[in-house]
Amino acid sequence: MNSNGNDRSASALELEIRSFSLPLEQPLGTAGGSIESRDGFLVRVVDRTVDEPTATSVGYGEATPLAGWTESPDDCEAALERARTAIRSGGPSGALGEVDEQVAARHAVSLALADLKASQSATPLYRHLGQESMVGRVPVNATIGDGTPDESARTAMDAVERGFTCCKLKAGLRDLEEDVARVRRVREMVGSDVELRVDANEAWTYAEAERALEAFDELDVSVLEQPLPAGALEGHADLREAAGEVEIALDEGVLEHGIDGICSAGAADVVVLKPMALGGVDVAYEVAAWVSELEITPLVTTTIDGAVARTGAVHLAAAIPDVPACGLATAELLAEDLGRDPVVLENGAAVIPQAKGLGIDGVWPD
């Protein structure tokens, strides 16, 4: 459908692609090596109405591949090129068919098409996804990187003073006892009213995770994310049985086992949804609705994306009823961005753009 409701024959879709490279403020250490920039492809879908040649509607998408989570950059680019050819004859379904197996590419194409449709309907993207009510903001967590107990506590206090009510501590790079000491020191500094989560990034053995859970239960940690390697589904299920008040979250495990596997094993209270890794905000929204019905909590986070994908993730979070604090405050990790960020962070929350579509502009170079 185009903006005036006529069928596809009354308009022509074009898909355009531009590559980009966004340097990080600091190199990011991962299991696959150090990342110094986020490289990807900006996508623009243009609808030029045949009977009004000067009238155009535009939707934006972003594909930012990440090793271990998505296809390679080369495979992503090849899929986008196929989509560019297919959209001319097959329309949206033809383009999506060419990227169906490449999640980052599908994220870009599906987001651009959703942005286009929402813009033509003069609807913010989160409401286009299915949220009936207007949502003004969604809570976000501050991320506390590795550091000494005092360094972690100072960083957490700075976040609290900026309005954050939830802090997620990265763990697993130090001895377990040091990480427990870090969490204890942060709790002492921020007090009892701030939610604390810990992300172990698959670092611990089962015995270490058991000891961590015992300590974290006493420290009122709300969520322990991915304490064991992704493959240890039954181990996570066993930990969940012994976790006390601490909820077990799976992130890498979502890709490894899928929601069916996680639910069958009873392995998680919380699942972390990365739209780039799942193949789009539309797919992630369906997964969020699914797990919510199963009484599993969905959390939305980015893969350190540019402004287009990050804004899409914010709209996704806004579309999920009663979503808890999500990992969306990642713009500060980038030294450069694709353009002006339409999402303002204010008092520990992301203010949702209420303009049509994503609400983003100025990202496509002239």
Return the pLDDT at 8.
42
Residue 340: count of CB within 10 angstroms of its CB: 10
Q: Are residue 91 and residue 155 in the same domain, yes or no?
A: no
Residue 37 forms part of a structural domain: yes
116 contacts 58 by C-beta, under 8 angstroms: yes
b or e along 271-292 (b: 16 or more beta carbons within 10 Å of the residue's beta carbon)? bbbbbbbbbbbbbbbebbeebe
Q: Are residue 74 and residue 179 in the same domain, yes or no?
A: no
The catalytic position among 117, 168, 170, 356 is 170
Give how far the C-alpha of residue 313 lies from the chain's centroid of Cα atoms, to the nearest Å. 5
Residue 170 designated active-site: yes
Give how far the C-alpha of residue 161 lies from the chain's centroid of Cα atoms, to the nearest Å. 25
Q: Are residue 181 and residue 288 in the same domain, yes or no?
A: yes
**Residues 92-134 pLDDT 10s:** 999 999 999 999 999 999 999 999 999 999 999 999 999 989 9
Cα distance between residue 197 and residue 297, in whole Å: 14
Return the pLDDT at 12.
85
Question: What number of residues does the chain have?
Answer: 366
DSSP-H helix ranges across the chain: 73-99, 103-120, 125-129, 149-161, 176-190, 206-218, 233-241, 252-265, 275-278, 281-293, 307-319
* Bridge partners (DSSP) listed for residue 18: 42
Cα distance between residue 324 and residue 288, in whole Å: 12
Return the pLDDT at 329.
94
Q: In this structure, what CATH number is given to the domain that contains residue 56?
A: 3.30.390.10
* Bridge partners (DSSP) listed for residue 349: 139, 346
Return the pLDDT at 28.
75
Residue 362 forms part of a structural domain: no
Q: Are residue 87 and residue 196 in the same domain, yes or no?
A: no
Q: In this structure, what CATH number is given to the domain that contains residue 244?
A: 3.20.20.120
Q: Are residue 155 and residue 244 in the same domain, yes or no?
A: yes
**Total number of domains in the chain:** 2
Q: Are residue 197 and residue 276 in the same domain, yes or no?
A: yes
Q: Which residues of the chain have pLDDT under 70?
A: 1-11, 29-33, 49-56
The angle subtended at Cα 338 by Cα 332 and Cα 343, nearest 5°, is 55
Q: Are residue 165 and residue 244 in the same domain, yes or no?
A: yes
Return the pLDDT at 9.
45
Contacts of 356 (CB under 8 A, 6+ apart): 118, 119, 121, 122, 123, 124
Q: Count Cβ atoms within 10 A of the Cβ of residue 241 and give its class: 0-12 exposed, 13-18 middle, 19 or more buried.
A: exposed
Return the pLDDT at 33.
63
278 contacts 106 by C-beta, under 8 angstroms: no
Note down the domain range covering 233.
Answer: 129-351
Return the pLDDT at 167.
97
Q: Are residue 174 and residue 280 in the same domain, yes or no?
A: yes
Return the pLDDT at 4.
37
**DSSP secondary-structure letter at 306?**
-
* 3 state DSSP class of 248: strand
Q: Are residue 283 and residue 197 in the same domain, yes or no?
A: yes
Using only the alpha carbons of the chain, give its radius of gyration.
21
What's the Cα-to-Cα distance from 359 to each of 56, 58, 230, 245, 298, rounded to whole Å? 16, 11, 36, 39, 24
Last residue of a domain, one of 64, 95, 121: 121
Q: At what angle do helices 103-120 and 281-293 cross, to 10 degrees?
A: 90
Residue 117 designated active-site: no
186 contacts 152 by C-beta, under 8 angstroms: yes
Return the pLDDT at 243.
86
Give how far the C-alpha of residue 260 lies from the chain's centroid of Cα atoms, to the nearest Å. 20
Sign of CA dihedral 157, 161, 167, 173: negative
Residue 259 forms part of a structural domain: yes
Q: Are residue 92 and residue 215 in the same domain, yes or no?
A: no
The β-bridge relationship of strands 195-199 and 221-225 is parallel
Q: Are residue 60 and residue 139 in the same domain, yes or no?
A: no
Q: How many CA atoms within 13 Å lie on the side-chain side of 206?
A: 12
Residue type, 82: R
Could you list the residues known to form a binding site for Mg(2+), using ranges. Answer: 199, 225, 251
Q: Are residue 79 and residue 140 in the same domain, yes or no?
A: no
Return the pLDDT at 69.
93
Cα distance between residue 237 and residue 268, in whole Å: 7
Residue 1 forms part of a structural domain: no
Report residue 65 as tokens.
């591949």
The β-bridge relationship of strands 11-30 and 33-49 is antiparallel
Distance, first Cα to last Cα, the chain = 27
